Amino acid sequence: MSAPPDVDTPRLTRLGAVSYLNTRPLVYGLETRPEVLVRFDVPARCADLLEGGLIDLGLIPAFEYARHDDYCLVPDVAIASRGAVESVALFTRREIADVRSIALDTSSRTSASLVRLLCAVHFHIDPVFRPAAPDLTTMLEHADAALLIGDPALFTDADALGLRKIDLGSVWTEMTGLPFVWAFWAGRADAATPAVCRLLREARDAGIGAIDEIARREAPADAARAALVARYLRHAIAYDLNGPFLDGLRTFYRLLAEQKLVERDATIRVFRGAQAG
Whether residue 154 is found in the same domain as residue 195: no
User: Does a structural domain hold residue 138?
Assistant: yes
Whether residue 154 is found in the same domain as residue 209: no
Count of domains for the chain: 2
Cβ–Cβ under 8 Å, residues 92 and 46: no
Whether residue 34 is found in the same domain as residue 97: no
Question: For residue 216, what are the domain limits?
Answer: 13-79+181-258
Whether residue 163 is found in the same domain as residue 49: no
CATH number at residue 241: 3.40.190.10
- Report pLDDT digits (tens) over 11-39: 799 999 988 899 999 999 999 999 999 99
CA distance 227 to 105: 27
Asked if the model's pLDDT at residue 47 lies above 90, the reply is no
Residues 88-105 have a mean pLDDT of: 96
Whether residue 151 is found in the same domain as residue 196: no
Whether residue 71 is found in the same domain as residue 200: yes
Asked if the model's pLDDT at residue 62 lies above 70, the reply is yes
- Report pLDDT digits (tens) over 225-270: 999 999 999 999 999 999 999 999 999 999 999 999 998 889 999 9
Mean pLDDT (the chain) is 92
What pLDDT was estimated at residue 208? 97
What pLDDT was estimated at residue 4? 44
Q: What is the pTM of this model?
A: 0.91
Q: Tell me the backbone φ, ψ of residue 202, rounded to 5 degrees.
A: -65, -40
Whether residue 42 is found in the same domain as residue 167: no
Whether residue 191 is found in the same domain as residue 149: no
